[in-house]
Structure 1
């Protein structure tokens, strides 16, 4: 997946929707979730870097940094994990197969409300070579 500065968020959303099961909801995390059932993958742009997980990028490239959060509304830990754990490899496979997307780790958390989720910080390579000045 290659992207330009202007379209990186829309390109990431389109890629995720195309590569993940249609039963998943892929949503911009800044919009709010509303009432959801099933698996939800939210994404949110967190910043930009001239390094990709420590390695310096060429002058015409930078990394757009996003947080992906895979969650389910179940508050029962056993049920939530039963839904999330089989889904996580599907998401990681889609990320691994995408050219220009990098990730290093996955962290699990449980909210005060009892919801379980996995957060995956990712970087999407962006080219500035064709961006308007």
Structure 2
């Protein structure tokens, strides 16, 4: 169920507007086709940006960096798992290890609608501020 960048799903009756988030950036046509067919098979709507430039040669000297695959924000986690099943993610052993607290903060805040758009440090600051406000209010009401 690919949605091309020139179509507007909000114009179609009975459909909601999609909020697109970045899923993957492809630098070759084969990987792009694999991802498109896998997302279509899983019935995950996707939008491909710069697909035509990738298929026409993707001249890096002209500033093209590949095609960008985007999915709806509500389907992002399922699409990430699909890419992991296809082994399209970078090798995790070569990546820098992630702090367990940061991993916990990311997992616990990824489904909160407004906070999930922010970077991890800002999410942690907002959660800490909420915690201290609740602690302060609790202490004020206990002392009354």
TM-score by length of 2: 0.30
Q: Which has the higher strand share?
A: 1
Greater Rg over alpha carbons, structure: 2
Q: Which has the higher helix share?
A: 2
Structure of greater relative contact order (alpha carbons < 8 Å, 6+ residues apart): 1
